[in-house]
Amino acid sequence: MATSLGLLLVLTAILAIIYIVQAQDQDQRGFISLDCGLSSNESPYKDSNGLWFYSDEKFTQGGKTGRVRENPKRFAEQYNTLRYFPDGIRNCYNLNVEKGRSYLIRATFVYGNYDGLGMKPVFDLHLGPNLWATIDLQKEENGTGKDMLHIATSNSTQICLVKTGETKPLISSLELRPMGNGTYITKSGSLKRYFRYYLSESSSQIRYASDIYDRVWDPFFLKEWTQLSTATNVDNSNRYRPPEIALKSAATPTNSSAPLTIRWTSENPDENYYYYAHFSETEDLQANETREFNVTWNGIQYYGPFVPSRGNLNTISRTAPVTCNGGICRFELIRTDRSTRPPLLNALEVYTVIQFPQSETDENDVGAIKSITATYALSRINWRGDPCVPRQFRWDGLNCSNTDMSMPPRITTLNLSSSGLTGTIADAVQNLTQLETFVEGNPRLCLSDSCKKPHKKKIIVPIVASVASAAIVIAVLVLLFVLKKGKPAILQGLHLLPRTSSMNATFAEKNRRRFTYSEVIKMTNNFQRILGKGGFGMVYHGSVNGSEQVAVKVLSQSSTQGYKEFKAEVDLLLRVHHANLVSLVGYCYEGDHLALIYEFLPNGDLKKHLSGKGGRSIINWSTRLQMALEAASGLEYLHIGCTPPMVHRDVKTANILLDANLKAKLADFGLSRSFQGGGESQDTAVAGTLGYLDPEYNHSGRLGEKSDVYSFGIVLLEMITNQPVINQTSDNSHITQWVGFKLNAGDIAEIMDPNLHKDYDLNSAWRALELAMSCANPSSSKRPSMSQVIHEIKECLVCAKSGTGKNLEMEPQEVMSSDASMVPMAR
């Protein structure tokens, strides 16, 4: 008896540990699984798929809970409860995400006559400020679900239910799943699931844990097909990771001469589609047998001939959208003449493009306004969702600047009249850097804690910090004077804190790495050996302590740059540390003598190696990709690893230096600028190098990390082609135009650097070229992030080192036009 009880306790403990491990695994993956309307007392629980569901109480404001009345047993557990919203027009869920990451977002809606009224609701579903879908439960007998792949544009995502009539919006479950980096990339917009099939006669759906991303796969099979299956394990470890169980079955035409066809009708003939076809050979073919076929869309061949691998995964996908002529869509696999076996297909995903044109309100403004509402415990029924957009749902008391849908709106007015505010002005107000008008009608609201008496007059304050000092009072009076004169209040970045103008004070905390001018003379042996010359001045070789080699950049008195760039570089390099950024050994600031002392990189810059000047060696293809990866890693660190994040602004091959082992490091940070929250900032003057300069930034003056991405794309094109960035003797003077022109012929050999002597993997070269052109897209919204660039370069490296790479997905392309804004498409 005691033994049995002991065994029972052990088994119970083991099960408890398994549950904890599984729950932690989902948390680590970033899964969010909300059972809407679930009481916190019942949360969490594990569903039949092994997913842990939690109450939605902490993710939304307001709403009431209900429970399905009609046939609740027909629904999965998470659909038996729901939350409905009788009050307000827009009610939202707030989910924390990682900016730039791709997510699967799934929302499910089941009415189930929870209210006993038999009135199925119709309402709109929004992602942030944009319409995602109209939910019409009057047409959906058993409810409906929406499934989308979306790249997060900020660190929080809002899913909103919007009342459009008399019925009350409701939601049953809300799920969010982070996807693998570099997956499901589109030229623009997000992807709405059209279907996701695995080809099998089974009747069971596949999802977590068979699918690590918890995609839902439906079985699909036609009567003219024959099912193939295998018990052999299938390596599914490419970036898409379709479930292995889906790859163990396949469909093939029963008539071995016939194509394998999947067709459907498109309601909108202009609908844009992306497809992802997954293949794995399920049979052991004999030496004299071949399975080879072409992939076509509406009769146009997009890839092939193709031979699927036994026991391995190949994914064929689109990097540009396709449409359906006449509204008839036909995905088809056609056997080649030399093939002895009919085509097969294991799984197919098809998505339509959904555009979200309205940018969310500036992330910093959103954070500031939420902090203000929390400070004053303000709660208004319409203060939910995005503060500024869409206009019809703008929060009461706000005015915003949002004339351009593609630009994040900024809060310009915060009117808290009649709110009865008391105490000090919230510190967060100073983070609303575009604010022109703040508090009116709150006479007991003070500028600082020292305020004791109510003001006798109403005052319009542009923006104030709650710091009691004479400087603040003077600043406020000056700004009020400006406003009374009718001049615009320019408040960008204003802190109203006294700032010293002394250059010495700038470096007061940096003495640890400060050298005297006499020490600079000594370390350079009186400036004996010149390494190079730039806009800043001459660069000399030197040594510190007689052993550590350094490069010393001395500011020329005639330099067109100067103290501003000098200070920017010192400020940045003293606080950042990364293996792919040139490190600062120290600096000299003594009177008119300014110098920067860097680590010495003996192999010079990448530009000279590509040109072969100075006896430099020609770099092979794999090494070029490795250098590109290292430079991209340095840029990624600036964009997402720094606080605040930084834009380099002068990425070019001359600013990529190589150490003794040809390891690449970014250099020259004099033009670098910070930008907040990954968004854009208005710079006073456009800066950069002609040819590498982002045309969108050059035109608008708005700076963001995608400006560096453009410049990196040009660098990558240089590394691929070894062509000049600007060639005035050519009709196609810019390198992107030259590449676009050459791509019309569809022969990559005409594009690749002839010094490589065709010693490169073809698939790797194509992928690198496609990446470079997508980085150099004239539209910043269509460029990848540096994190996505890094992932793609790593894939290129795998191809370069192992041929085509047995598990790498192959991305077919269309014929490229002469428009350099398109990615290259013909192989």
Instruction: Please provide the DSSP assignment of 534-554 as one string.
Output: -SSEEEEEEEETTTEEEEEEE
Residue 618 in any domain: the answer is yes
Residue 125 and residue 85 share a domain = yes
Average pLDDT over residues 721-745: 86
Tell me how long the chain is: 827
Which CATH number does the domain housing residue 370 bear? 3.80.10
Boundary-marking domain end, from 457, 484, 511: 484
Residue 343 in any domain: the answer is yes
Give the chain's domain count. Answer: 6
Write out the residue range of the structural domain in which residue 375 sits: 363-484
For 2-44, the pLDDT digits (tens) are: 555 555 555 545 544 444 445 556 665 789 999 999 999 999 9
Residue 109 in any domain: the answer is yes
Instruction: Give the burial string for 107-143 (b: 16+ CB within 10 Å, else e).
Output: bbbbbbebbeeeebbbbbbbbbbbbbeebebeeeeeb
In whole angstroms, give the CA distance from residue 150 to residue 131: 14
Helices 786-802 and 762-775, axial angle in degrees (round to 10) = 170
Q: Are 492 and 433 in contact (CB under 8 A)?
A: yes
For 41-96, the pLDDT digits (tens) are: 999 999 999 999 999 999 999 899 999 998 877 788 999 999 999 999 999 999 99
Boundary-marking domain end, from 303, 320, 354: 354
Residue 225 and residue 125 share a domain = no
Q: What is the pLDDT of residue 378?
A: 76
Residue 429 in any domain: the answer is yes
Angle subtended at Cα 62 by Cα 178 and Cα 45, rounded to the nearest 5 degrees? 50
Q: Are 545 and 523 in contact (CB under 8 A)?
A: no
Residue 89 and residue 75 share a domain = yes
Tokens encoding 73: 């047993």
Q: What is the DSSP letter of 619?
A: P
Reference 338, options 301, 302, 291, 300; nearest CA is: 291
In whole angstroms, give the CA distance from residue 212 to residue 236: 11
Q: Is 650 one of the catalytic residues?
A: yes
Which CATH number does the domain housing residue 582 bear? 3.30.200.20
Reference 705, options 770, 656, 640; nearest CA is: 640
CA distances 223 to 192, 251, 349, 502, Å, are 28, 10, 20, 82
Residue 59 in any domain: the answer is yes
Residue 382 and residue 479 share a domain = yes
Residue 413 and residue 290 share a domain = no
For 628-654, the pLDDT digits (tens) are: 999 999 999 888 887 778 888 899 999
Query: Based on C-alpha coordinates, what's the Rg of the chain?
Result: 31
Residue 344 in any domain: the answer is yes
Residue 754 and residue 720 share a domain = yes
The whole model's pTM is what?
0.58
Residue 143 in any domain: the answer is yes
Boundary-marking domain end, from 133, 150, 178: 178
Q: Residue 182 — left, alpha, or beta (φ > 0 → left; ψ -120 to 50 → alpha)?
A: left
For 344-364, the pLDDT digits (tens) are: 999 999 999 999 999 999 988
Tokens encoding 748: 């990559």
Which CATH number does the domain housing residue 790 bear? 1.10.510.10
Residue 249 and residue 233 share a domain = yes
Q: What residue type is assigned to position 21 of the chain?
A: V
Residue 472 and residue 325 share a domain = no
Reference 293, options 280, 283, 281, 307; nearest CA is: 307
Beta-strand (E) ranges in 338-429? 347-354, 398-401, 410-414, 423-424
What percentage of residues in the chain have a pLDDT greater than 90?
49
Which CATH number does the domain housing residue 130 bear? 2.60.120.430
Residue 282 in any domain: the answer is yes
Q: Chain centroid to CA 111: how far?
A: 35
Q: What is the pLDDT of residue 653?
A: 94
Q: Per DSSP, what are the bridge partners of residue 331?
A: 262, 297
Residue 131 and residue 245 share a domain = no
Q: What is the pLDDT of residue 478?
A: 40
Residue 782 and residue 675 share a domain = yes
Residue 101 and residue 58 share a domain = yes
Residue at token pair 């204003």 = 494
Residue 325 and residue 205 share a domain = yes
Q: Is 764 exposed, middle or buried (CB count within 10 Å of its CB: 0-12, 13-18, 19+)?
A: buried
DSSP string, 391-414: GGGPPTTEEEE-SSTTS--EEEEE
Residues 349/353/354/355 CA torsion (nearest 10 deg)? 150
> From the candidates 211, 214, 362, 650, which is the catalytic residue?
650
Report residue 491's pLDDT band, with 50, 70 and 90 as the boundaries: very low
3-class state of residue 719 by DSSP: helix
| Sign (positive or negative) of CA dihedral 187, 189, 194, 196 | positive
Q: What is the pLDDT of residue 96?
A: 93
Average pLDDT over residues 114-142: 94
Question: Of the spans 491-500, 772-781, 800-809, 810-819, which averages the highest pLDDT?
Answer: 772-781
Is 782 assigned a ligand-binding role in the annotation? no
Q: Are 289 and 340 in contact (CB under 8 A)?
A: yes
Q: What residue type is assigned to position 121 of the chain?
A: P
Tokens encoding 112: 């189930």
